[in-house]
Amino acid sequence: MLWTRLVHRAEVHQTTPYTCDERYPALFDLAATLAPDAHRILSFGCSTGEELIALRRRFPRAEIIGAEINPRSRRIAVRRVAKDARIVVVHPRSVQGIFDLVFALAVLQREPHKIVEMEVEDLSSYYPYVRFDTAVRQLGGVLATGGLLFVMNAQYRVEDSSLAWQFEPISSSPLMDKPLFGPEGRLLERAVAHTIFRKR
């Protein structure tokens, strides 16, 4: 975690590598309902690969790319999916091509439990909005027209991003109501955010 934070300080989002199998089963099931024929899927911040396995259960024929900045987590993920030739794990800078589905789950945030415990009202010095916005723009850039972007457990809202005009919220999208911050970094009162968006 320290190595990732130091070496990739300008790119890193969430520094905690912890994850588990079937972390978002309802969301994955909904993704399979909304886009059963997805051909290419990106898991941005795939950590140690459990999300890749969960996605494979719903999308048996898709090509799945896992992008992970932490080298230790990336090595573990590579070993975990080694028997599946249609799952590839890469550094985020090596992501290429266009995807039908893009997932960024519990990635576009920084130490959320600590932020809550400290009752932070200005997130700017911990996780600046520009880093979130840059990531949304990058993910939107590799998403096919009509493709779906899934952003869960983030600290900023896709609806406030500079690419918001390009995304239409899905009406059946689960809502985030955890502490959310505006583009200036200030805590938003009683704010909610969608988690699934279709690219116009």
Q: How far is CA 162 from CA 34, 36, 74, 84, 131, in A?
A: 25, 29, 30, 37, 12
Report d(CA 106, CA 51) in Å as an integer. Answer: 11
Same domain for 188 and 111:
yes
Task: Output the CA angle 190-109-81, nearest 5 degrees.
Answer: 130
Report if residue 80 sits inside a domain.
yes
Same domain for 147 and 164:
yes
Same domain for 198 and 111:
yes
62: CB partners within 8 A, 6+ apart: 38, 39, 40, 41, 55, 56, 86, 100
Report d(CA 80, CA 50) in Å as an integer. Answer: 8
Identify the pLDDT of residue 7: 46
Report if residue 50 sits inside a domain.
yes
Question: Is residue 184 over pLDDT 70?
Answer: yes
- What tokens were used for 17? 């590598």
Report if residue 172 sits inside a domain.
yes
Q: 41 pairs with which residues across the strands?
A: 64, 101
Of 72, 97, 122, which one is at a domain's C-terminal end? 97
How many residues are present in the chain?
200
Identify the pLDDT of residue 110: 87
Same domain for 122 and 172:
yes
Of 97, 114, 149, which one is at a domain's C-terminal end? 97
Count of domains in the chain?
2
More confident residue, 147 or 111: 147
Same domain for 111 and 200:
yes
Same domain for 92 and 115:
no
The string of pLDDT tens digits covering residues 146-163 is 999 999 999 999 999 999
Report if residue 14 sits inside a domain.
no
Same domain for 156 and 127:
yes
Read off the pLDDT of each residue in 137-142 and give the average, rounded to a whole number.
97
Identify the pLDDT of residue 9: 52
How far from the centroid of its chain's Cα atoms is residue 17's Cα? 13
Same domain for 112 and 71:
no
Q: 176 pairs with which residues across the strands?
A: 193
Report if residue 187 sits inside a domain.
yes
Other CB atoms within 10 A of residue 135 CB: 22
Q: 197 pairs with which residues across the strands?
A: 149, 169
Same domain for 110 and 151:
yes
Question: Is residue 85 over pLDDT 50?
Answer: yes
Read off the pLDDT of each residue in 128-132 and give the average, rounded to a whole number.
95
Report d(CA 150, CA 47) in Å as an integer. Answer: 16
Report if residue 84 sits inside a domain.
yes
Identify the pLDDT of residue 141: 97
The string of pLDDT tens digits covering residues 6-42 is 444 555 666 666 677 888 999 999 999 999 999 999 9
Identify the pLDDT of residue 177: 86
Report if residue 64 sits inside a domain.
yes
Instruction: For 35-51, give one letter per residue: b (16+ CB within 10 A) or e.
Output: beebebbbbbbbbbbbb
Range of the domain at 89: 24-97
Read off the pTM: 0.90
Same domain for 199 and 144:
yes
